[in-house]
Amino acid sequence: MNTKLPLEGLRVIELGTLLAGPFTGRLLADFGAEVIKIEPPEKCDPMRKWGKSKDGVGLWWPIQSRNKKSITLNLRVEEGQKILKELVKQSDILIENFRPGTMEKWNLSYEELSKMNPKLIMVRTSGFGQTGPYKNRAGFGSIGEAMGGLRYVTGFPDRPPTRIGISIGDTLAALFATIGCLIALQERNSSGKGQVVDTALYEAVFAVMESLIPDYLLAGYIRERMGNILPGVAPSNIYFTKDKTYIVIGANADGVFKRLCEAMNQPELAEDPRFSTHEKRGENMKELDDLIEEWTKSLNAKEALKILEEKGVPSGLIYSAKDIVEDPHYKQRDMIISVEHPQLGEFPMPGVVPKLSRTPGQVKYPGAESMGKHNEEVYCGLLGMTTEELKRLQNKQVI
């Protein structure tokens, strides 16, 4: 691809570890920002070792740190802090997801860094935000999911709250942090000034919790765990099939429900007083789901889905990784791509989201396999250090 990527020309310093901060850096890097990932010289980002591995290579890191440059720098010492300030002078964005107060302890507060570069945008992600009585608490995505209200409503009513199968709290926070970063960039175009983007994990989760609060404060209803159903919304569930698998059907709108009834060869159900309106279907959810599953159990999953597709009823299999890899739609949309990894060869990973029609994002290379791979490029090329200076800093464990 020779098209200029939309965020080319932006330089991002990424200080965060694990997931929330680095995922923000990944999103910006996918669209062309130069992201310089900094790790302390004595200790790598734990994400390098997370997940499954092959030939000693962690399979999470190449995705999470794709398109990024990797350097090392000790921010706990004064000389390292001075070097960071020099990088800040030539950068647009700094991402960090330490506990509030950490950057200030290192003399790297926004007030201090903005003296070096008044246009700097500082993206700060933490468990509870930079203000408030909980600001000093440690917080991971799991805590944000719990205190943001998500864990309480996840699972089945007869069992304890459960986790969604991915680190959704971290990724939601990263998405909101990225949105905030892009908003601040747009505002900077008119004001010429940078600012702080403050994203809390619990707030990112809470922000997507739909009508949870007015349900309680205005209707006296506390949403509880409901398993695979949506409270008062039917049909929207998983249904067992003849070949012992499950399919998902969502047909709660009146017109779609009518098409589902036609697909089941039971058009009369659309006029049945128990199911003829959205409210009635919600009230008689269990009875309706039983009728639908009686139909799905008479067919193999592919047979049922073919009929539903022909009738325009939203439906689908519950995909495993194997199903995703074999699906032609994923391939056609470039949602599984391969990039060359120096140790593993062709490395498969998710494609870029969202799709832009004229200036799409691009994955050029996987996360750097070694810490500090780009030290010379950044310190000598960008900051103008000599190789002798680089060796001196290495010997002092500053880098």
Radius of gyration of the chain (CA): 25
What does the H/E/C string look like for the chain? CCCCCCCCCCEEEECCCCCHHHHHHHHHHHCCCEEEEEECCCCCCHHHHCCCEECCEECCHHHHCCCEEEEECCCCCHHHHHHHHHHHHCCCEEEECCCCCHHHHCCCCHHHHHHHCCCCEEEEEECCCCCCCCCCCCCCHHHHHHHCCCHHHCCCCCCCCCCCCCCHHHHHHHHHHHHHHHHHHHHHHHHCCCCEEEEEHHHHHHCCCCCHHHHHHHHCCCCCCCCCCECCECCEEEEECCCCCEEEEECCCHHHHHHHHHHCCCHHHHHCCCCCCHHHHHHCHHHHHHHHHHHHCCCCHHHHHHHHHHCCCCEEECCCHHHHHHCHHHHHCCCEEEEEECCCEEEEEECCCCCCCCCCCCCCCCCCCCCCCCHHHHHHHHCCCCHHHHHHHHHCCCC
Provide the CB-side half-sphere exposure for 120 (13 A, CA).
26
Catalytic residue among 45, 170, 198, 289: 170
170 is catalytic: yes
The catalytic site residues sit at 170
